[in-house]
Amino acid sequence: MNKIICACVLILALITTVVGAGDRPTTIDEFYDTQARTRVIAHRGFSGAAPENTIAAVRAAIKIKADMAEIDVTLTSDGHIVVIHDESLDRTTNGSGKVSDFTLAELQQLDAGAWFAPSFAGERIPSLDAVLDEVEGRILLNVEIKSEAVERGIVTKVASAIRRQGMIDQVVVSSFSPTALEEMHAEAPDIWTAVLYNAKVHKGQDAVEIVTGLGATVFNIKRQRLTKEMMRRCAENNIPVGIYTVNKPRHRGR
């Protein structure tokens, strides 16, 4: 792919050193400039150094000078946006059951850090508003909307939170759910959106048609699924490509 010029974004979890190049972008437009250097996103925050999707992980991403932090969002039983990856609480908290069965107040009583290391005991499940407060002006943010919350109206709530914080130029919204991306484009066309390639839905489709058909701007895909044809098509149409998850130096050239 020597002659293919395309913005490349590496999404990492196990970063072990300072990754910034001294020119951390401050806006989404700048981040996805196709003539810029390869950008680095800290997956679920710096989840190699702190419990994923917590304020501690976001702060760790800022500390190592990543270009962007990525988080996952879903809804509580009382309609609040919280930052957690799984539908279940079991893996990353001391709670049990589905996230959507608990109120925000109930979830924020849980410990979301001790599972990772004793030093993080007492870390809480943050709200999206708390993360936006933390990152504003410090690091750009990728907000991944979990598919299970789309039918419950999370898209409108995410758009409202970003607007309320005045961070339209600092946040990109991504999702595996085509419906979520379509709704976000209709609700807030000024907020950048990124397709997360869904093999069950998108298999066999042209990368450019996937992105443009959903009103999105960015094409994100698992490293093992990326092809030279996808890169070529995106480069020809000035579409940035995000590659996840890249944790080994030998994978950076893919």
Q: Which residue has the tokens 């607007």?
A: 163
Q: Which of 43, 80, 202, 251 is catalytic?
A: 43
Torsion of CA 27, 187, 214, 227, to 10 degrees: 30
Annotated catalytic, 202? no
Q: Which of 80, 85, 202, 251 is catalytic?
A: 85
Torsion of CA 154, 158, 164, 165, to 10 degrees: 150
Cα 132 to Cα 125: distance, rounded to the nearest angstrom: 14
- 3-state helix, strand and coil shares in percent for the chain, rounded to the nearest 5: 35, 20, 45
Three-state DSSP state, 144:
strand
Q: Would you say the C-alpha torsion 133, 184, 67, 43 has a positive or negative sign?
A: positive
| Helix ranges (DSSP H) in 1-103 | 28-31, 55-63
| Residues 130/153, Cβ–Cβ less than 8 Å | no
Annotated catalytic, 185? no
Active site residue ranges: 43, 85
